[in-house]
Chain A
Amino acid sequence: MSRQSGTDGPSLERPDFVVRKERLYRRLLAGCAALTVAVTLGIILSLSNGALTFFGDVSIVKFLTGTNWSPLVAPSEYGVLPLVSGTLIIVVGSAVVALPIGLGAAIYLSEYADPRVRSVVKPALEILAGVPTVIYGYFALVYLTPILDAPLPIEQVIIPSWLGFSVPIIPSWLTFSVPIIPGGVPLLPEFTLVVPEFTLVVSEFVFVVPSLGAFNALSASIAVGIMIIPMVSSISEDAMSAVPDSLREAAYGLGSTKFDVSTSVVVPAAASGIISSYVLALSRAIGETMIVTMAAGQSPKMPYFPNVLRNFTDSIEAMTASIVKIASAESLGQTATYEAMFAIGLTLFGLTLTMNILAELVRRRFREVY
């Protein structure tokens, strides 16, 4: 039985209160969206404002190209490069730890682990992401550094001094290894090194890997690396799980092993997601503050080259740590040093923004529609 259209059904008119409610919801939700945009703009504005004042006192060229950073000791110098270098050392170190391990974990979870294992391991990995960074900070300072510096695990490599300081990689037949001495006594020419087991007269030898300082970039970057592993593995695993099974079947059908399928089909097909995870994780490493402030020290310096390993055994200062240092210094007032904080902040922001833009470009290049 069909109803007559028009008058005898329930009213087709929209009640006023419904219209008003809908309008209210719409405005509330739009407000939420607008707030985030407004906050972002506000941050950029306040950063730029402070930075502009700073660049009134110190030339921007000097800031960006200066190789000496000593804002708190007169005469103040404001070269940002040592700080950028400190940050990049942390980023490189944590990338070496996190990118391969995170990708490996993602491949395992997506391709190898059976569902029961995955349902336990994946949440466990994500808990790593929830650990407060201050805990990673003292983990690096109190546990990692002593372990890395302990007598047994690391041996100091010594090479004849006639090879010079400038050889970053030494063929193994040229090196001697001796257990590290707690406290790291430097070896000088004609120096006699006494270790419990034997006595060795070391002449014309120099250290290539110096002993670890109490504050060093190595443990800080390992801790940052561990912190960002879950970002890499979780996002990469999502991307790999989204690769359709038909591609896996095609590869198996051609006589691929599981490893072939994972590395030559699934990983390339998920490349855009994997790259996203890398960028997000590295942006996180750039912005990481607590760990590097606690464990990497506060001695801004230009990178050692070509003896690059020294960059990790030495104390450094990252951009974020320098902001902490200035912010916690007493009564700076409206001095250039205070304003320098904003300039560093803006540089930091520029760095992550550039990375994200680059990543987006690379991601588009690799994006696949199945």
Chain B
Amino acid sequence: MSKEELDDESDDESEGAVDSSLIGMEVADTDTKDRRPGTEEAVIETRDLNVYYGDERALHDVNMEIHEREVTAIIGPSGCGKSTYLRCINRMNDLVEAAIIEGEVRFGGMDMYGDDVDPVALRRRIGMVFQHPNPFPKSIYDNVAYGLRVQNRTEHLDEKVEQALKDAALWDEVNDQLDESAMDLSGGQQQRLCIARAIAVDPEVILMDEPTSALDPVAGSKIEDLIDDLAEEYTVVIVTHNMQQAARISDRTAVFLTGGELVEYDDTEKIFENPEHQRVEDYITGKFG
């Protein structure tokens, strides 16, 4: 597939996606239960993924499938490569000059590291929320509208901004101050704004890199509730070092251990109650890490 085709496809999907997302919301209201059914369909698949930073090997032959409309948590001790893995999915590691990536990351069946893939088009379909809230020093409105504007999708901008802020559970707090600087919001509000900014462009997948670790517990739990809602429409991959958080919000959990190795990947319940590997059990019960 060429860059243009990838671009076109993302545009087509996004136009259709506004309606389907609204339908998804209604379903969510009537049909709430703890375990999301998921579609069992792999959206993202990594095969023999290796990442090196210079001489240092950050990921070690990672094979993993991420399923559509589920929350997949990635846990592990510091330096285990969990953020590196997340950043491979939308090719954010391209920005790190020393990073060498080997293996395949397949998104919708296509290798994202193929020669003809445009990382810009890819990132339009896979959004990202970072560890520290990083709103642009612009107004709240301009922050949410940013992605739509750079993608030239400015029809019905007001409605899309409002919807994104509503989906991010921020609308009620900021609807009378959309023109004020996003830098004046609290940390938790800023992080929800960053989530609104990411979902405003209607990505298919949202990657979250420890989105609550820089927030206080109350703000953090709001984000967790939000992630739960988002999984009705989006595929969410969340890196966290908070194991309780992974247990609370995820459907599947991947445990990376030192050396960039994916040691175990299964249903969250299974991982926390009956892990296969002794090392995983040791990590989860707090014997190390």
Contact = CB atoms under 8 A, between A and B. Distances in A.
| Secondary structure type dominating chain A contacts | helix
A250 B95 CA distance: 12
Contacts of A257: 120, 150
A268 B124 CA distance: 22
Contact of A252 (B95, B121, B132, B197): B95
Contacts of B134: 244, 246-247, 249-250
A266 to B, nearest CB: 10
Contact of A253 (B132, B183, B198): B198
A260 interface: yes
A236 to B, nearest CB: 17
Nearest to B207: A253
A368 B92 CA distance: 26
Interface string A227-263: 0000000000000000010111111111111001000
Contacts of A244: 134
B194 interface: yes
Given A268-B137, A268-B138, A368-B183, A250 B150 contact: no
Contacts of B198: 253-254
Given A246-B132, A250-B194, A369-B183, A256 B120 contact: yes
B268 interface: no
B154 interface: no
Contact of B95 (A249, A268, A269, A368): A249
A265 interface: yes
A254 B183 contact: no
B137 A269 contact: yes
B62 interface: no
B151 interface: yes
Contacts of A260: 150
Contacts of A248: 95
A264 interface: yes
B151 A255 contact: yes
B146 A264 contact: yes
Nearest to B97: A114
Contacts of B137: 247, 268-269, 368, 370
Contact of B128 (A253, A268, A269, A368): A253
Interface in B183-203: 183, 194, 197-198, 201
A254 B127 contact: yes
B136 A255 contact: no
A263 to B, nearest CB: 10
B279 interface: no
A249 B136 CA distance: 11
B73 to A, nearest CB: 20
B283 interface: no
Q: Which 8 A-B pairs have the closest CB atoms?
A: A255-B124, A254-B147, A253-B128, A368-B137, A246-B134, A260-B150, A255-B123, A250-B134
11 contacts: A247-B136, A250-B128, A254-B147, A255-B120, A255-B123, A255-B201, A256-B123, A256-B147, A268-B137, A269-B137, A370-B183
Given A247-B134, A250-B134, A264-B150, 12 more contacts: A246-B132, A248-B95, A251-B150, A252-B95, A254-B127, A255-B120, A255-B150, A257-B120, A257-B150, A368-B137, A369-B183, A370-B137
